[in-house]
Every structure is written in structure tokens, then in C-alpha cells.
């Protein structure tokens, strides 16, 4: 079969535009025609500014991509068009090829790319569920202490058979107590205190702790970018993030060939909107990949929601906490999973002495 590029172009599910050196549209695909509600013929030679508005995120992204002769990705930006309600989208602009200075502009409505924005789109829902659970957890503490105390009293005069039962009561109340601790920890809404953090140090600490405990028979492979600048972060919170992800990875691995790979890199082209016209640069990229069974298909859209778990003894609070912490850092977390390969990618801003979020 010979590849027919016209067909590929026409069937691309996302609106795609070719922008020439004068910032005019030279080609659009049919998804773009539908988005803009105009035909390719009507759109030909129209100005990017005309279509998306002057100083729009799109015009700005096109300009930046041209200036750096590279590609640029903007997450969750509002794309406004004449006669169309603004929609949240991921916008990609990159060179079309080495023999042309034209740019390819792709607009991907985030409804389709839910996984990308998972951590952010779910924060509001997470907050309300967690606020309620935190209150409930607080209310549970007193009766729980009563149950545990009563079991201890009973244990003093209990027969061997009954002792087993009082121990069970105590063990289970301890388990609930730990869950309450985690929920309350989650409800902690103090702002993140940012400082310069060497990501590799924190990753190494997380790996050492894992190797000393639950991941003792798993091979860790590191691939660090030695020139990675410091992140703007809270190292204790980031340690918790890496530990939660590594723990999930270890729990997903069965058998003796478990491998967890940690990779860091710098990618200057990743930004996302933080409200108004401001965008946040999140060039530090940390990818944690395991070769475990993968995330169950039915769960993948919800893993960042609280209390979603596939484990009999899981509380489903690990990833919501990851999401909360990374959002507090002005970063992004996303996940990509197939059987035998699951990657969590975290993107964080760089530390500047006067970092402002
Ligand atoms: N690396 C992974 N591989 C496969 N599935 C994963 C992976 N990471 C997360 N998951 C899935 O996502 C679910 C939610 O993870 P999360 O860490 O939030 O909760 P948990 O691990 O079940 O419980 P907790 O972390 O609170 O003990 C897990 O139950 C699991 O099904
Ligand atoms: Mg977990």
C-alpha cells in the first residue's frame, strides 16, 4: 500500500492547520473546517490573528515556535474562535519539515485528551470528597479510640481463643487509624513552600527507601540528565510523590523480572495555562516506568480520583495525593499505560530565586 498523505491529512481526528511564514493558513484539514465552521477554500490565506484573535494563545504559540525553530506544546489553554464557545485544548505548533519554514498547528480539545489533564481536571472533585472525608475521619477518631481501649481491657481477662479476637479488633482499628491519618494528611491545605530542589537527590532517596523495603527484588535503572536544573519544590512532598508512584509500580510487578526506570530530561516546549493569559513553564520532566501488568482499562480514567483502587488492601489515596502535591507545585502529572509498560510523567517548573507561581 502506498501512503496517501492527503487521506491521512483529511482523516486526522484533530483540527490541523499549516501556517506559512506570513502567518497565513495555507492548508486546513476537515476537522479544522468543522471547528471553524468554514471551508478550506474560505480559510485559505486567512491570517492566524484574524481567525483566533490578536495576541491569542495560538498566535503567541505560533510566534514562539517560529522564534525558537522548534515545537511547542501548551496544555489546557482556552482557544477562542469567532462564533464558537471558547474550549479548553492542548495546542501543538511545530515545524512541518526541514525543507520548509511552514508550521503545523494542531488543536486537541482536552475532552479527547483527558489523560493529559487528569491531574488538574480532577482536583475540584477531589477537594470536595476529601473535605468531607477529613471531617468524617475526625469524627471517627474518638469512637475508634474507645473500641481499641475496650479491646485492650477485654484482652486482660480473655481466654486464648478470645485473645485472638481482641488482637484482631486492635489490628483492624490500627488499620483504620492509619487510613484516617492518610485522609487527614490529604486534607492538609497549607500552601507549598517552594525552594530549590535537586530532583535527582530526591529520586535517589525514594529509590533507596524502596530498595530497603518493599522493592528489594526489583531492578532500578536510572537515566538522569546531568545538566537538569533545580526544580522549584518542596523536597519532602516530592519525596512522597516519587514514593507513591514507585510503590504502585512495585505493586504492579509480579514475578522476578521487575524493572523500574527513572528518567529525567529537560523539555523547554511544555507550558500550560494557569488562568488569565498567564502560562506556566514546566520544562523539568521526570518519567517513572515499570514493566508491570499495567493499569486496568476500566480504571485508567479515574486513577487520580480519591478512593479508586484495584487492590484489596488499597485505599486509593496514593495518586490523588500525587496529583494534589504536583498541582501545588504548579506542575503536571500524566499517565500512559499498556500491559507491560506503565509510565507516570511529572513536569515541574524550574527554580528561580524569585519563582512566582
Ligand atoms: N504503576 C501502576 N501499574 C498498574 N496499576 C497502577 C499503577 N499505578 C497505579 N495503578 C492503579 O491505580 C490505582 C490507584 O492507585 P493509588 O496509588 O491511588 O491507590 P492504591 O495504590 O490502590 O492504594 P494506596 O496507594 O492508597 O495504598 C491502583 O489501585 C492501581 O489499580
Ligand atoms: Mg498506591
Measured distance CA(18)–CA(98) in Å, rounded: 14
| pTM, 2 dp | 0.68
Whether the CB-CB separation of 199 and 231 falls below 8 Å is answered with yes
Q: Is 311 in the pocket of ligand 1 (CB under 6 A)?
A: yes
Predicted confidence band of residue 124 (pLDDT cuts 50, 70, 90): low
Nearest ligand to the C-alpha atom of residue 249: 1
**C-alpha closest to that of 240 among 131, 172, 319, 179:** 319
Q: What is the pLDDT of residue 65?
A: 86
Predicted confidence band of residue 138 (pLDDT cuts 50, 70, 90): confident
Which mutation among 119, 182, 248, 301 tests ligand 1's pocket best, with the greatest number of atoms within 8 A of CB? 248
Look at residue 105 and tell me whether its pLDDT is greater than 60: yes
Q: What's the 322 CA to ligand 2 centre distance in angstroms?
A: 10
pLDDT in tens, 317-343: 899 889 889 988 988 899 999 989 999
Quick one: DSSP state of residue 242?
A: H
pLDDT in tens, 278-313: 677 889 999 999 999 999 888 888 898 888 899 988
pLDDT in tens, 189-229: 777 888 999 999 999 999 999 999 999 999 999 999 999 99
Predicted confidence band of residue 346 (pLDDT cuts 50, 70, 90): very high
Q: Is 309 in the pocket of ligand 1 (CB under 6 A)?
A: yes
Question: DSSP alpha helices (H): ranges in 214-303?
Answer: 235-252
Predicted confidence band of residue 104 (pLDDT cuts 50, 70, 90): very high
Look at residue 116 and tell me whether its pLDDT is greater than 50: no
Q: What's the 270 CA to ligand 2 centre distance in angstroms?
A: 27
Query: Taking the C-alpha atoms of 18, 21, 22 and 27 in order, what is their torsion angle to the nearest 10 degrees?
Result: -20
- Ion ligand 2: residues, CB within 5 A, are 248, 318
Q: What is the pLDDT of residue 117?
A: 38
Tell me the average pLDDT across 2-21. 86
Give how far Cα 355 sits from Cα of 195, 196, 231, 325, Å.
9, 10, 10, 17
Q: Is 310 in the pocket of ligand 1 (CB under 6 A)?
A: yes
Tell me the average pLDDT across 75-99. 79
**Average pLDDT over the chain, rounded to an integer:** 85
Measured distance CA(130)–CA(137) in Å, rounded: 10
Which mutation among 313, 314, 344 tests ligand 1's pocket best, with the greatest number of atoms within 8 A of CB? 314
Q: What's the 351 CA to ligand 1 centre distance in angstroms?
A: 30
Between residues 175 and 119, the one the model is more confident about: 175
Tell me the average pLDDT across 243-257. 92
Q: Is 300 in the pocket of ligand 1 (CB under 6 A)?
A: no
Q: Is 316 in the pocket of ligand 1 (CB under 6 A)?
A: yes
Between residues 34 and 242, the one the model is more confident about: 242
Amino acid at each position: 500500500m502506498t501512503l496517501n498523505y492527503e487521506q491521512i491529512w483529511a482523516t486526522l481526528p484533530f483540527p490541523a492547520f499549516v501556517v506559512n511564514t506570513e502567518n497565513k493558513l495555507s492548508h486546513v484539514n476537515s476537522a479544522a473546517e468543522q471547528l471553524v465552521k468554514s471551508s478550506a477554500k474560505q480559510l485559505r490565506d486567512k491570517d492566524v490573528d484574524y481567525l483566533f484573535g490578536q495576541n491569542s494563545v495560538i498566535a503567541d504559540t505560533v510566534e514562539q515556535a517560529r522564534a525558537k525553530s522548534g515545537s511547542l506544546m501548551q496544555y489546557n489553554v482556552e482557544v477562542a474562535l469567532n462564533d464558537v464557545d471558547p474550549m479548553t485544548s492542548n495546542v501543538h505548533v511545530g515545524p512541518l519539515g526541514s525543507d520548509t519554514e511552514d508550521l503545523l498547528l494542531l488543536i486537541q480539545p482536552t475532552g479527547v485528551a483527558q489523560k493529559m489533564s487528569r491531574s488538574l481536571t480532577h482536583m475540584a472533585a477531589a477537594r470536595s470528597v476529601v473535605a468531607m472525608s477529613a471531617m468524617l475521619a475526625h469524627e471517627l477518631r474518638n469512637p475508634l479510640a474507645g473500641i481499641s481501649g475496650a479491646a485492650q481491657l477485654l484482652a486482660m481477662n480473655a481466654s486464648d481463643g478470645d485473645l485472638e479476637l481482641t488482637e484482631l479488633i486492635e489490628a483492624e482499628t490500627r488499620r483504620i487509624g492509619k487510613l484516617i491519618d492518610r485522609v487527614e494528611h490529604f486534607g492538609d491545605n497549607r500552601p507549598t513552600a517552594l525552594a530549590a530542589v535537586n530532583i535527582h537527590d530526591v529520586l535517589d532517596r525514594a529509590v533507596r527507601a524502596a530498595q530497603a523495603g518493599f522493592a528489594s527484588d526489583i531492578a532500578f535503572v536510572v537515566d538522569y540528565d546531568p545538566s537538569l536544573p533545580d526544580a522549584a519544590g518542596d523536597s519532602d512532598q516530592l519525596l512522597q510523590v516519587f514514593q507513591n508512584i514507585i510503590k504502585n509500580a512495585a505493586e504492579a510487578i509480579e514475578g522476578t523480572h521487575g524493572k523500574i526506570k527513572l528518567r529525567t530530561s529537560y523539555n523547554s516546549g511544555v507550558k500550560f495555562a494557569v488562568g488569565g493569559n498567564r502560562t506556566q513553564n514546566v520544562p523539568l520532566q521526570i518519567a517513572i516506568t515499570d514493566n508491570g501488568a499495567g493499569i486496568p482499562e476500566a480504571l485508567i480514567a479515574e486513577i487520580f480520583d480519591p478512593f479508586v483502587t484495584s487492590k484489596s488492601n488499597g485505599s486509593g489515596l496514593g495518586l490523588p495525593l500525587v496529583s494534589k502535591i504536583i498541582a501545588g507545585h504548579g506542575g503536571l502529572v500524566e499517565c500512559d499505560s499498556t500491559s507491560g509498560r506503565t509510565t507516570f510523567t511529572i513536569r515541574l517548573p524550574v527554580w528561580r530565586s524569585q519563582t512566582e507561581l
